[in-house]
Amino acid sequence: MDVFEALEKRHSVRSFKTDPVPVEMIERIMRAASLAPSAMNEQPWRFYVTTGETRRRVGEAMAQGTTHLEEFIDVMGAELHAEAVRWYSELGNAPVVIVCTMPKAADEFWRMNKHLSIGAAIENILLAATAQGLGACNITFSFYVRDELAATLEIPEDRTIIAIVALGYPDEVQPAPAAHNPDIAVFLD
């Protein structure tokens, strides 16, 4: 699939078939992530690819995190809140969850560089998933349970979890495309 086609097709998939994803496909996705640009070519990322029992434990931690949704109940309304609690607990039944980490950084400039680098790698993950007929969703709600997740996955103390990516074969009825405003550039000559 041409890169522009993948860009057009990519969208956040939030409902998955439980079919396992072949390891070769995941490896291609990880290769794509490894090719992302990074500040000073630091390649600050390390990805924990969870399936099976580990994936189940990631789900348990995420379910605990839904208590934080109570903060948003007034803005969300009860129905949306209940839906969000269910969604974060199940992560759309995604058979694979990729936990994205970077080294902790006290310095603001270096933290920013690491965030941008991880973001670039995550976009490569999303596009490589799309190009292979898979679906994915980048999730930073994991922030609320990052310590629990780090303990579960035995992530070293000097790293922090930035996001998780739910991944699998899409199981969705035609999703309403998210509005993407095309008018985003100021052209200066």
Ligand X SMILES: Cc1cc2nc3c(=O)[nH]c(=O)nc-3n(C[C@H](O)[C@H](O)[C@H](O)COP(=O)(O)O)c2cc1C
Q: Which residues bind ligand X (CB under 6 A)?
A: 11-12, 137-141, 178
Q: Kindly tell me which of 25 and 162 has the beta carbon lying closer to ligand X.
A: 162
CB of 131 to ligand X, least distance (A): 16
Name the phi and psi angles at 165, rounded to 5: -125, 120
Q: How far is the CB of 179 from ligand X (least distance, A)?
A: 8
Give CA 137 to chain center in angstroms.
5
Among 96, 98, 92, 91, smallest CA distance to 20 is for 96
Whether the CA torsion 118, 124, 128, 130 is positive or negative: it is positive
Is the Cβ of residue 27 or residue 171 nearer to ligand X in the bound state?
Answer: 171
Residue of closest CB approach to ligand X: 178
Classify residue 3 as exposed, middle or buried by CB count within 10 Å of its CB (0-12, 13-18, 19+).
exposed
Whichever of 25 and 166 has its CB closer to ligand X, that residue is 166
Nearer to ligand X, 26 or 163 (CB): 163
Q: How far is the CB of 138 from ligand X (least distance, A)?
A: 4
C-beta of 163: minimal distance to ligand X in Å?
Answer: 6
Cβ atoms of residues 19 and 168 within 8 Å: yes
102, β-bridge pairs: 160
Nearest approach, Cβ of residue 7 and ligand X (Å): 10
